[in-house]
Amino acid sequence: MKKQRIARDRGGNETLPGFRVLQNECVWMRAGVVNFKICDREYDCFQCDFDRGLRKALDAQRPATGKTTEKSWAAEMRSRYPGVEKPCRYLLTGQIDPPGKCDRDYDCDGCPIHMALEYHLVSRSVEAERYARDLHLEGMKHGASAGQSEPVSASPRPLNSECIWMKAGIINFKLCSDEYDCYHCAFDQSMRQVMGEAPGLGKSRSRQWHTFLNEHYMTQTVPCIHRLSGDMEAPAACEKEQQCYSCAYHQKWMAAKEDRASNTPPAIHEYHYTAGFKLVRDYYYHFGHTWVHIEDDGFVRVGMDDFASRIFGEARALQLPPKGVRLTQGKTGWAFLRNGHKAAIQSPISGKVVSLNTHALEDPRICHEDPYAGGWVMRVDPSSLKLDLQALYYGEECSQWMETENQRLYELLGPEYEQLASTGAQPVDDLFGSIPDLDWKTLTQTLLRTKNI
């Protein structure tokens, strides 16, 4: 066999037939450090100003110490991704969305993406520590009442007084004076306004989903949850955008509720019926007829309640947000379709969508047949669970609210139906499909409190 001739370029590198050799390719281009540079000195690198300048720049980044040391993560990233196009470290770990290009040569100090993500981690850890502290204090209270000399739970690590903005490394020095009540902290609110939204923080999918919903649906005026449950002393409309923790009336109501709860035994986990509609005792309910169930891993599972399922009947399709979208309590979260009609559903909780019910997507009828179990819609990583739960119904207040909603339904259907409330009559399994003249738009606006645009 005839021996194949091996060609060599001017740098001495071997090439194979069929590949074009780029003449006079700079050694820095060949190494992948620069995207394009042609050698004009016959590879006399010792007399090349470009070579000396680039070496000086690299030495400034990684000064020689005279001994071999382990590379830092930044140096390792620079060697792994030479050239200009460097991926952000958080893109590689899946914490942000594409394109995620690093334009700081892995100098993360001062990077808005790095600071925002670090702030988020510190904020979550502070919330976890605060929760552990509350459990500890609760254990000590019960231990003292039982005559125990030791607390029930082990003492957690005490919270430091460092502000979470200082913990995240965004500011040099700031001590917390509000026991980490960031929700009411003027300094925290000002810092959030100054920082703004850092680019690339995985919110593009949320913006796309919310843009789609805003073009098709909108939320009606937010009513007060206490007024809906029959408390006629409460205001008719919510003036706090469902931020119940800042409402004076809600704070007064919560204080009275805590007094009642101290003498109330734990609820039994089972179904019960109110006005003919099924409710689950340990679920939370939103006035837009969705439910929330807190799971052991800290995530929450959400879906439509039995009331909405029986009024609107079987859905033909669901419009669910993609995973990663951030939902806001009281804003439109998803929608369902039936025979050319659309209905938007308010999200009962704020947080990031972590998983969807693929079975319900393939066969939406399951949401009608089994709304509280197999018909769940999505799982969410809550962002402010403790605050969001204050805007939901739980326990006996669910029954009071459902009675009020049932009366609203009868009033909507007309005078001939209003008398049914006292007879114990129950609506059929598909109310909309059973009454030909029933207006879909009126149903969604009155009961779901949303409307199409």
pLDDT, one tens digit per residue, over 230-272 is 888 888 888 887 778 778 888 888 777 766 654 544 444 578 8
Average pLDDT value for residue range 204-211: 70
Which are the contacts of 349, defined by CB distance < 8 A and separation ≥ 6? 286, 292, 300, 302, 327, 329, 380, 382, 385, 388
From the CB of residue 49, how many other CB atoms can be counted at a distance below 10 Å?
A: 8
What is the spatial distance between Cα 325 and Cα 193, in angstroms, rounded to a whole number? 22
Average pLDDT value for residue range 41-45: 75
Is pLDDT of 36 > 90? no
pLDDT at residue 157, rounded to an integer: 40
For residues 300, 305, 309, 315, the Cα torsion angle rounded to the nearest 10 degrees is -20
Least confident of 12-26, 353-367, 408-422: 12-26
With bands split at pLDDT 50, 70 and 90, how would you rate the model's confidence at 134? low
Task: Give whichever of 125-134, 218-227, 276-285 has the largest mean pLDDT.
Answer: 276-285
Is pLDDT of 364 > 90? yes
pLDDT at residue 128, rounded to an integer: 63
Is pLDDT of 395 > 80? yes
Please report, rounded to a whole number, the percentage of residues in the chain having pLDDT higher than 70: 72
Please report, rounded to a whole number, the percentage of residues in the chain having pLDDT higher than 90: 26
DSSP letters spanning 164-178: HHHHTTSSS--B-SS
Vertex 348 angle, CA 325 and 203, to 5° = 15
pLDDT at residue 20, rounded to an integer: 43
What is the spatial distance between Cα 28 and Cα 434, in angstroms, rounded to a whole number? 76
Give the residue ranges of DSSP H helices in 262-351.
306-312
What is the spatial distance between Cα 113 and Cα 447, in angstroms, rounded to a whole number? 41
Helix 112-145, helix 186-195: angle, nearest 10 = 160
Token readout for 373 is 């179990």
Give the residue ranges of DSSP H helices in 276-357.
306-312
pLDDT at residue 17, rounded to an integer: 45
Cis status of the peptide bond prior to 99, with omega within 30 of 0: yes
Cβ–Cβ under 8 Å, residues 97 and 205: yes
DSSP letters spanning 401-435: HHHHHHHHHHHHH-HHHHGGGGGT----S-HHHH-
Is pLDDT of 368 > 90? yes
Q: What 3-state class would DSSP assign to 214?
A: helix
Instruction: For residue 354, give the H/E element and its range.
Output: strand 351-356
Average pLDDT value for residue range 362-370: 92
Cβ–Cβ under 8 Å, residues 273 and 279: yes
Task: Give whichever of 200-214, 417-431, 434-448 has the largest mean pLDDT.
Answer: 434-448
pLDDT at residue 260, rounded to an integer: 62
What is the spatial distance between Cα 281 and Cα 398, in angstroms, rounded to a whole number? 9
pLDDT at residue 125, rounded to an integer: 62
pLDDT at residue 61, rounded to an integer: 60
Is pLDDT of 381 > 50? yes
Provide the CA 41 distance to its chain's centre, in angstroms.
Answer: 57
pLDDT at residue 372, rounded to an integer: 92
Cβ–Cβ under 8 Å, residues 326 and 320: no
